[in-house]
Amino acid sequence: MKLLLDENLSDRIIPQIVDIYPNSTHVKLLALTQSDDLLIWEYAKAHDFVIVSKDSDFHQRSLVYGHPPKFIYLRVGNCSTAKIVQILRENYTTISIFGNAEQESILVLT
């Protein structure tokens, strides 16, 4: 499963998770920073990414339009990059099951 991290998350997360989420990337590495959410949404959809963000706008879009792409909503408030890495690594099994589920569009992690 490939994750696409939104700009509200650090791009320094990618090297720390790419071993378990191969081909994951950050919007910064795709020159999509400060892009409209719709553009990021469409990119993720076209390239089979799961969007990861703390942005409630993606949450709303996912509720309205469903998937693809799937969306992982990190409801963690202001926290360290290390905490985000920990959440993504510790929830690997849950995230993998979510990625393969046919009906689910949103996964909320805290």
pLDDT tens digits for range 77-98: 889 999 999 999 999 999 999 9
Q: Which residues contact 44 (CB under 8 A, 6 or more apart)?
A: 4, 50, 51, 68, 69
pLDDT for residue 34: 87
Mean pLDDT score of the chain: 94
Instruction: State the angle between helix axes of 81-90 and 92-100 in degrees (0 to 180), rounded to the nearest 10.
Output: 60
Overall number of domains in the chain: 1
Residues 6 or more apart whose CB falls under 8 angstroms from that of 29 comprise: 11, 14
Neighbour tally for 90: CB within 10 Å: 11
Give the domain extent around 59: 2-109
pLDDT of residue 9: 95
Whole-structure pTM value: 0.94
> What are the tokens at 57?
């706008």
